Amino acid sequence: MPVLALLETSVALYTIGGAGSLLLWRSDAAATLFAGVTSIVAAILGTAASAQVLIDGTGPSFAAAGPIPFASFLLRFDPLAALLVLVISLVTLAASLYSLSYLREYAGKGIGVMGLCFNLFVASMVMVAVADNGFYFLLFWELMTLTSYFLVIFDQDNKAVAAGFLYFFITQSFSMLLMTAFLLLFIHTGSLDFSSFRAANLPPWLGSVIFLLTFFGFGAKAGMVPLHIWLPRAHPAAPSHASALMSGVMVKLGIYGIIRFAIEILGASAVWWAWTVVAFGAVSAVLGVLYALGETDIKRLLAYSSVENVGIILMGVGVGMAGIATGSPVLAAIGLLAAFYHTLNHAVFKGLLFLGAGALTFATSTRDMARMGGLARRMSWTASFFLIGALSIAAIPPLAGFVSEWLTYQAFFATGMGPDFTSRLFGPLAAVMLGLTGALAVMCFVKAWGLMFGGAARSEAAASAAEVPVTMLVGMGGLAVLCMALGLGAPVVAPVLSRAVAALRKSGAVEVADGTVIFPGDVHQAVLSTPLVAVVMVCLVAVPVAIAAMHRGRRLAPRIVPEAWACGYDHDARMTVSASGFVEPPDVMFRGLYRLRAMQGPVGDTLDGSVIVSTEAAGIVEPLWNRMAMWVATRGVPFIGQQLQVMEGGNLRVYCLYILAALAVMLICVVG
Amino acid sequence: MTQTDIIALLAAAVILPFLAAPVSFVVPRFLASIVCAASSALSFAAIFAASVGYTMDGKQAFSRDLVSVHGIAIFGFTVDRISVLIGFAAGLVGLLVCLYSVGYMALGNREHPEVGKPRYFFFMQVFVSAMAGLVFSSTISGQLFFYEATGVCSWGLIAYYDSPKAIAAGTKALIVEHIGSLGLYFAAAMFFVSAGGFSLSALGGMGPGAKTAIILGILFAAWGKSAQFPLHIWLPDAMEAPTPVSAYLHAGSMVNIGVFMYARALLAAGNVPHVVGAIGAIAATFTLVYAFFLYLPQLDLKKLLVYSTITQLASIFLALSLSTFGSILAFDGGVAHIFNHAFAKSLFFLVAGCLSFTTGTRMMPKLHGLLAEMPLVAIGFGTAALAIAGVPPMNLFFSHFAMLAGGFQASRAYWPLLILVGISILEAVGTFGWFLIKFGDAVPGPASPAVAGATALPVTMAVAVAALVTLTLASGAFAAAWMG
Amino acid sequence: MQGAVLFGVGVFQAILLLLAAPLYSGISRVIRAKFHSRRGPGIWQDYRDLLKLLNRREVIPAAAGLAFRATPYVVVVAMLVVAMAIPAVMVRSPVAPMGDLITVIFMFAMARFFTALASIDCGSMFAGVAASRETTMGVLNEPIMILALFTVALMSGSTSLGNIAAAIHAGRMPAYAATLMAMLAFGFAVFVEMGKLPFDLVEAEQELQEGPLTEYSGRSLALMKWGVALKQLVALTLFIGVFIPFGAAVALSPVALGLGVLILLIKLLFAFIAIAFVENTMARNQFLDVSRITFMGAGAALLAFALSLARV
């Protein structure tokens, strides 16, 4: 089936699924099933279509006039769009499978509407990825935000509504920057089509203005620091399968926008653009993981971790842009390859982690890590899948996250080998920031997994938790397998993504793989073989097993004691390490950076204060004009009237004088 | 369908409600509302048929003079894309509001429990007829006549409840609108002096000085009718009127008269001197910012909607004024915005009416959790609030985008205009935020006591609300395609 | 063919380091004892300890799960993988696709991840605190390692450890002062990674009732102890193999390899003795103050980087 037809069918199925879910609102089970099954099929079609385009290295376009006179309906399904559609489809597939039993938690709260919003959300994300005209891009962009807004406020409590407001307001206001950028290009080129944007010959100052507008407009959606404040509030409030999509996929559309505009449309011509992107990326990465470390709510932790990973992807994008601007094609290719790979990886493992968090909430009715514990025994499948996700996000070899971080490090290395001083300065410094981030991420996810799944149960709910239903496990399991496949299959995946990068840059693909080995363009620079690492690790397990087998006959079987050693005292559940205790050292060491977050308070207070002052001022001003006008009517007119009343003396002789005077004036006028 | 048929249909649309109006005094009380709804339905049907005929004809614009004195046309009809579009909107909103009034002006109304008096329906029908007449009018004298007629109707309808505040509000409205109409009188006089007649098409051939004077006169009258600063003071007080009146007059039709006449004048004039555009744009921006700040202290839903109407109309004035700098897109966007805004704002006012009917209050601090108790009203509220906020797929997004695009286009001629466009973008963001807060306060969550004790909604009101929700969702693309 | 031989060398290297680890930690113990005016248990004591532990039964807290039980194996495997990949016996990495500096650093991270995970999993408060400290040390240490290694890697044109070692061996580094400074910085980082005083007292973790090893016993403790000793040895070997490759085998002949092994063992001996001298002159630092000391290492690394930029 041709690729475009697959894509259209996919989008149509999402829409039908959503509409059907709404029509079936009376029956929760029917709505869940209909919406879930249609989106599963649609996601499979989407995966097939995008995989085809990525493998081919080129994709189709579509053009139609559409009802709007100043904007034609254009679609462009090139490899960059295909990467996004692949990411969307894979996570949607897992999330839809997951939702078949997860939505039981929302029984009676309007599942029909949720199905509508979820399906339309996915459909609009797909359309954003392939839209090739500014108006339709913005249309689907805002639809995406609207549908996810309804998902965020779904719980309808105060926190959710406040989170939804912050989310919608920030992303929408920054969409105005996008609209301004598109309209500036519109008046320069006379059309809203991206293809005419591409062909436009912009004066450098205008190019920089457009870059800044699109960078911040898309950066707000991507969750870049300092525009990230909506993320930790909005992502946890939504239902978990929607959070998986918002955190794993929707933020990628922000990055997609930055790549599409800065690199493809504007051509990444100025080097300072690249370093700006890298700088914001580095700050987001470090601050994101630092704030994640301080959280006890698992979903907020994952949300902040998304900020971190967006920072990592942006660093890769920035390095790619530096490569383009300084004319180093290999650097450009490796930087963008790292960014693309991490986009794909992060979507998969962040989706997995959010689905896992949802499973935990499903089983224990709480999101607080301090109230969980000991769940590895009661929910062993969830524990294993979550562990794979945690290992991936901490970039432990040979899983997915490691490969993309390795590529990012190689990109920084290549920058460090660059011709100009700024590259040589920033490359290694960026690597150090990434290293710091990685170590903090290790700490963060050790804490997360350890506190939730390890140790003893810390609450009644955790002690009685049960494993979640099969469809939820299948959804998570699929993503876990994908994590491993993206890691071990790096020699297969990297060339495909390299071709996508080449299509974006309209140049030849850089060689990145040979057999089971991947390398960043130059074999001499570095090589990595994840399959080899995996095989060696598995084989080497024989060594400690052999050691442990020694003297097996002579020793007794292991004995289980009820408690860990507590110096002779009775062991108490409160003696185990707490969430905040675990992170006390970095909390102390990085206190200054945590204080940055407290600065948000005064900013919010200033805004509230200015609203209050404006309200009072408006309340005073409102009747002002009214009273002035009324004053004229109630005082002015009678006043004039009273002055004129002087003329009415009452004296008949005066009135005769008036008549004579009028007669005289008239005669003069007639005669003269 | 020939052009004569179209003219005949339009004439019927104007005359029928006018003739049916006195009937309200004659029939039994309970039938008066039915008669009103029926006549407005027939009027709309005629306009609809005329629109279909016009479209089938290939959308060819034409004019026909109906009443002439000594060769000078006094009344006539112009059928072109903007008059058909706005006429359609005004007629449809009129029908829906009259239908809504059948349910609203009844004893079940918790805020104003009384059966509708005949003069309400009389004035409504006269208004329907005057509105149709004005939109299709091809002469300035015709516009003037119907302008004054609508002023009288609005006086009658605002003062309907007979309380001291209502009567004062009605009088204020009449006076302020009449001050505005001085501009129209002046323009008509200038017309006669410059062109020897009253046909609007003559505007194209006049010199720049005459054009400026006339269009500024029309602009002043437009400010009066569309409640722009400094002639805006009548509109907030006009909320003393019954809510259907607010929806019809102060959202769907009468306030659109001002922008429509301005648009018609600009279209007829062709090349407009930039000073007119500059004055219009600056005044519109000022009103925009002023009315936005006045959102903040409002606790009464209807008052908030009034200021929102003022800002939306100000943005239309801005777009129309900017179109004089060479952007057709701004003009088309502005007219489409009139069309879309009529539906969205009427919906919002009718929702406010539903709230006061069922709960007895319009105060926003008392209204929470609508979704739990009255889903249809909640959906109406949400659709209208998000439409005003400019979010797709609601209709106002499409025309607002066109207006902004047009504004940017106009700034190519004279880049400081970009500052005005920038201010309007900031205001749009502010409006979005404010209405999103209001939506979050009112719709989700547990029901407040006032909402929990709400009575049932009559069928006619529900139908009107549902119809407007559908229109708000659908009319955006339609308007854009029509104008293009 | 050559690939298979090199792979064999790598395996041999790993087994060698595995078997030698208890010997070197034994040597450390004896030196410390001498510093304390004791006789010490003898350099072969750690072998005896391991055999003794393998005879004992394990006692496992009920709360401990899969993470706790799997960690000893993971730690040993991770360190063996590193041992296979670093240029120790030869001036090249025996298994180049695993011998990238990033890969090696992340292998250490893997060991740290699982150790910390096991510490939380067993439910012991001592181990829990230890997990927090382990991971924080990683946060403070990894950037230093990365910067120091990146500096020399940039100068040699490759991130593969073998290529770096070869460049230093051949004297091809353009900036000597930078290389020296990087060596000092990386040495500092390795010192921290080995868990020597003033950062940690790994050897006494059971006696002082703190550390990830608290709840391990029997064969698991044997494996963990062996793993920790192996980690210390591997970290040091990494340092010596990359920065002091002089004497390692260049060619693939049995003579050169034998000589390389011998010289490696001697270099390690000297290094361990030097480290023992340094660590026994210090006391353990309060943990929250440790960051001040690590900033010194960070400063050294930054200085190395600056020098390399200046091509000095």
C60-95 residue pLDDT tens: 988 888 889 999 999 999 999 999 999 999 998 999
Chains C and B touch (3+ CB pairs under 8 A): no
Q: Quick one: pLDDT at residue A77?
A: 92
Taking an 8 Å cut-off on Cβ atoms, the answer to whether B436 and A186 are in contact is no
Residue ranges covered by each domain of chain B? 1-272, 274-484
Co-location of A536 and A625 in the same domain: no
Q: With 80 as the cut, is the pLDDT of residue C209 above it? A: no
What is the separation of C-alpha A76 from the centre of its chain, rounded to a whole number of angstroms? 22
Report pLDDT for C123. Answer: 81
CB atoms A183 and B408 under 8 Å:
yes
B-chain residues near A139 (CB < 8 A)? 392-393, 397
Q: How far apart are CA B215 and CA B261, in angstroms?
A: 10
d(Cα B140, Cα A111) in Å, to the nearest integer?
A: 57
Taking the C-alpha atoms of residue C254 and residue C273, their distance in angstroms, rounded to an integer, is: 29
A219 part of a folded domain: no
Question: Shortest CB distance from C81 goes to which of A416, A533, A581?
Answer: A533
Q: How many residues does chain A have?
A: 672
pLDDT at B140 over 80: yes
- Best to test chain A binding among C74, C136, C293 (most A CBs inside 10 Å): C136
Main-chain dihedrals φ then ψ at residue A647, nearest 5 degrees: -60, -30
Nearest beta carbon to residue A537 from set C81, C138, C163: C81
Q: Which residues in chain A have Cβ-Cβ distances shorter than 8 Å to B397?
A: 139, 142
C residues 52..71 contacting A (CB < 8 A): 54-63, 65-68
Q: Where are the extended beta strands (E) located within A498-654?
A: 513-514, 517-518, 559-561
Residue A409 within a domain: yes
pLDDT in tens, C276-285: 888 888 887 7
Q: What is the pLDDT of residues A99-147, one digit of tens each?
A: 999 998 888 888 899 999 999 999 999 999 999 999 999 999 999 999 9
Does A606 contact B at CB distance below 8 Å? no
Q: Which domain, by its residues, includes A613?
A: 606-671
User: Could you report how far apart the first and last alpha carbons of chain C are, in Å?
Assistant: 41
End residue of a domain, out of A530, A548, A566: A548
Distance, in Å, from the CA atom of A510 to the CA atom of A520, rounded to the nearest integer, reads 9
Q: How many residues does chain C have?
A: 312
Contact call for residues A187 and B411 (beta carbons, < 8 A):
yes
Q: pLDDT at position A371, please? A: 87
Q: Which subunits sit against B, judged by 3+ Cβ pairs under 8 A?
A: A
Nearest chain B residue to A169 by CA: give it: B433
Is some CB atom of chain A closer than 8 A to the CB atom of B208?
A: no
Which amino acid is present at A75?
L
Boundary-marking domain end, from A506, A523, A548: A548
Task: Give residue C204's pLDDT.
Answer: 66
In-domain check, residue A515: yes
**Residue scoring higher pLDDT (B58 or B333):** B333
Q: Are residues A520 and A616 in the same domain?
A: no
Determine the residue of chain A that is closest to C298 in CA distance. Answer: A432
**A586 in reach of chain C (CB within 8 A):** yes
A169 and B433 within 8 Å at the Cβ level: the answer is: yes
User: Rounded to whole angstroms, how far apart are CA atoms A451 and A454?
Assistant: 6
pLDDT of C210 strictly over 70:
no
Find the mean pLDDT for residues C195-214: 71
Burial grade of B111 (CB within 10 A; 0-12, 13-18, 19 or more): middle
The answer to whether residue A592 sits within a structural domain is: no
Please report, for residues A59, A163, A245, A340, A510, the alpha-carbon distance to residue A497 in angstroms, rounded to integers and kept in the order given: 14, 36, 22, 7, 10
Using a CB-CB distance cutoff of 8 angstroms, which residues of chain A are in contact with residue C62? 456, 560-563
What's the CA gap between A497 and A87, in Å, rounded? 13
Question: What residues have CB less than 8 Å from B437, skipping those under 6 apart?
Answer: A165
Q: Considering only CB atoms, which chain B residues are within 8 Å of A64?
A: none
Encode pLDDT of A197-255 as tens digits.
888 888 888 999 999 999 999 999 999 988 898 999 999 999 999 999 999 999 999 99
Q: Which residues of chain A have pLDDT under 70?
A: none
B299 interfacial to chain A (CB closer than 8 Å): no
User: Is C122 in CB contact (< 8 Å) with chain A?
Assistant: yes
Say if A424 falls within a structural domain.
yes
Which subunits sit against C, judged by 3+ Cβ pairs under 8 A?
Answer: A
What pLDDT, on the 0 to 100 scale, is given for residue A444?
Answer: 93
Among A439, A454, A541, the residue with its CB nearest the CB of C138 is A439
- Check: CB of residue B352 under 8 Å from CB of residue B305: yes
- When CB atoms are compared, the residue of B391, B425, B446 closest to A142 is B391
Q: Which residues on chain A are in Cβ contact (under 8 Å) with C163?
A: 524
Q: What is the pLDDT of residue A267?
A: 84
Q: How many CB atoms lie within 10 A of CB A2?
A: 10
Would an 8 Å CB–CB cutoff place B168 in contact with chain A?
no
Domain boundary among A528, A548, A568: A548
Question: Looking at residue C205, what is its pLDDT?
Answer: 64
The CA distance from B110 to B106, in Å, is: 9
Q: A69 vs B440: CB contact, 8 Å cut-off?
A: no
Kindly state whether residues A633 and A527 are assigned to the same domain: no
| Shortest CA gap A393–chain C (Å) | 12
- A560 forms bridges with which residues in the sheet? C60
Rounded Cα distance between B200 and B197, Å, is: 9
Total of domains in chain A = 2
d(CA C14, CA B134): 95
Q: In the predicted model, what is the mean pLDDT of residues B137-154?
A: 90
Is A294:A594 a contact under the CB 8 Å cutoff?
yes
Average pLDDT of chain C? Answer: 89
Q: Beta strand pairing status for B72-79 and B62-69?
A: antiparallel
Q: Locate the chain A residue with the closest alpha carbon to C301.
A: A432
- The answer to whether residue A16 sits within a structural domain is no
Q: What is the reported pLDDT for C202?
A: 67
Phi, psi of A277 (to 5 degrees): -60, -45
* Cα B323 from Cα B317, distance rounded (Å): 10
Beta-carbon contacts of residue C273 (< 8 Å; ≥ 6 apart): C27, C31
Instruction: Quote the pLDDT of residue B42.
Output: 93
Give the nearest chain A residue to C58 (CA atoms). A558
User: Looking at residue B178, what DSSP letter applies?
Assistant: H
Residue pair B198/B143 in contact (Cβ under 8 Å)? The answer is: no
Interface of C with A in 166-205 (CB under 8 A): none
| Residue of B412, B429, B432 lying closest to A187 (CB–CB) | B412
- Cα–chain-centroid distance for residue B387? 16
